[in-house]
């Protein structure tokens, strides 16, 4: 998104599809997203003693319950989840754009990659329309392009590719480093509103990383792979800008803004189970920084690769 300050920080069970959750039926032409009940939330058990995590997850799921205006057009009025500076959190907009794309493909298709650009800052309380272009519908793959618009101005663009489940090799070259158990780490304070739906335990960082943390949704999510993919998209945007900034000299004020966001979904996973997120600064040059993130499940399987370039402009 446009100029804003830095955003804060198991193998699949039998019968589970991509995303580590059960297969869902074909999406209908209208109504809330699959797995979401009235108001876009489902009945779920509380995690944690306070109950606040469950309420926050309900609100997060409500963000994914888009109003369908037509076969390929959706709307949401974002009234919460402000990022720094009072703007919409970029991960929220990305997750909603992915949700719109998912609603136009068959249930047998699962997102495997997305490439997106933050064009302008999103504004709280202003209706956001999401238009989906059906770029390709093949036998094994489908491609969708989504543009998010507020008051006739594009604020975000996303291209997502979907793939049917099929057998193949299962090899990964990057193994997770040794990390402390998340249960033994204190929860991070909720610095920003968009952190609240998640249990975040930051530590380290681990060798080779700029930032390391365990994270999961703070409550149990519906058994819908689309929901888990969208929640992963949301949480993946927490930290890359700050990780890229840490490559530069400390103590110098900077103006920071995400420019793009790229995800590759490798293996099934649930976003309400512990995920190890390691971020590293790759480059900082010409007022732009690049960060890469790897997300592993607790069983060591690589489930998500993240890439983000950001504007990091020194200010006098």
pLDDT at 135: 99
12: tokens are 């699949």
- What SS3 class is residue 210? coil
Domain boundaries, the chain: 38-164+190-314
Helices (H), the chain: 52-63, 90-102, 225-236, 240-245
pLDDT band at 207 (very low <50, low <70, confident <90, very high): confident
| Residue 212 appears among annotated catalytic residues | no
Q: Picking from 45-59, 117-131, 199-213, 252-266, which range would have the lowest pLDDT averaged per residue?
A: 45-59
CA distances from 84 to 6, 88, 220, 256, 316 (A): 7, 8, 27, 11, 21
What's the pLDDT at 27? 52
| Alpha carbons 219 and 270: distance in angstroms, whole number | 12
- The catalytic position among 96, 150, 161, 258 is 258
Closest CA to 259 of 277, 237, 279: 237
CATH assignment, 38-164+190-314: 2.40.160.210
Determine the straight-line distance between the first and last CA of the chain, rounded to whole angstroms.
Answer: 22
Q: What is the pLDDT of residue 87?
A: 85
Token output for 202: 């930051």
Which has more pLDDT, 190 or 268?
268
- Encoding tokens for residue 145? 């392009």
Distances (CA, A) of 210 to 9, 47, 78, 243, 246: 12, 30, 32, 6, 7
Q: How far apart are CA 237 and CA 4, in angstroms?
A: 14
* Chain segment 214-263, per-residue pLDDT in tens: 999 999 999 999 999 999 999 999 999 999 998 888 889 999 999 999 99
Write down the catalytic residue from 237, 260, 272, 283.
237
**Beta carbons of 122 and 91 less than 8 angstroms apart:** no
The pLDDT score that the predictor gives to residue 9 is: 35
Longest dimension (CA), the chain: 57
Please determine, for residue 297, whether its predicted confidence score (pLDDT) is greater than 80: yes
Q: Is 96 a catalytic residue?
A: no
Q: What is the length of the chain?
A: 316
Q: How confident is the model at residue 21 (pLDDT cuts 50, 70, 90)?
A: very low
Give the C-alpha separation, 197 to 54, whole Å.
Answer: 8
Q: How far apart are CA 78 and CA 130, in angstroms?
A: 13
- Alpha carbon distance 116, 144 (integer Å): 12
CA–chain centroid gap for 170, Å, is: 24
- Would residue 92 show up in a list of annotated catalytic residues for this protein? no
Q: Which of 306, 302, 297, 303 is nearest to 240 (CA)?
A: 306
pLDDT digit string, tens, across residues 137-192: 999 999 999 999 999 999 999 999 999 999 999 999 888 888 999 999 999 886 66
């Amino acid at each position: 998104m446009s100029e804003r300050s830095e955003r804060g920080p198991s193998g699949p069970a039998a019968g589970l599809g991509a995303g580590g959750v059960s297969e869902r039926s074909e999406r209908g032409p209208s109504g809330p997203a699959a797995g979401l009940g009235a108001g876009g939330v489902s009945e779920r058990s509380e995690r944690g003693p306070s109950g606040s995590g469950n309420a926050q997850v309900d609100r997060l799921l409500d963000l994914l319950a888009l109003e369908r205006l037509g076969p390929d057009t959706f709307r949401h009025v974002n009234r919460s989840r402000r990022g720094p500076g009072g703007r919409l959190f970029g991960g929220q907009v990305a997750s909603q754009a992915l949700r719109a794309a998912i609603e136009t493909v068959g249930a047998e298709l699962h997102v495997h990659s997305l490439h997106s650009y933050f064009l302008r800052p999103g504004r709280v309380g202003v209706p956001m329309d999401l238009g989906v272009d059906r770029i390709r519908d093949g036998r094994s793959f489908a491609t969708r392009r989504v543009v998010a618009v507020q008051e006739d101005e594009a604020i975000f663009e996303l291209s997502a590719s979907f793939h049917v489940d099929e057998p193949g090799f299962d090899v990964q070259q990057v193994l997770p480093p040794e990390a402390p158990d998340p249960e033994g780490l204190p929860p991070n304070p909720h610095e920003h509103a968009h952190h609240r739906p998640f249990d975040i335990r930051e530590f380290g960082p681990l060798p080779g990383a700029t930032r390391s943390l365990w994270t999961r949704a703070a409550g149990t999510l519906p058994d819908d792979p689309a929901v888990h993919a969208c929640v992963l998209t949301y949480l993946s945007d927490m930290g890359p800008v700050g990780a890229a900034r840490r490559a530069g000299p400390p103590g110098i004020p900077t103006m920071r803004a995400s420019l793009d966001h790229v995800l590759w979904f490798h293996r099934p996973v649930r976003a309400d189970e512990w995920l190890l997120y390691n971020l590293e600064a790759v480059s900082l040059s010409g007022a732009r920084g690049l960060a890469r993130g790897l997300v592993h499940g607790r069983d060591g399987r690589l489930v998500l690769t993240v890439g983000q370039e950001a504007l990091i402009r020194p200010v006098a």
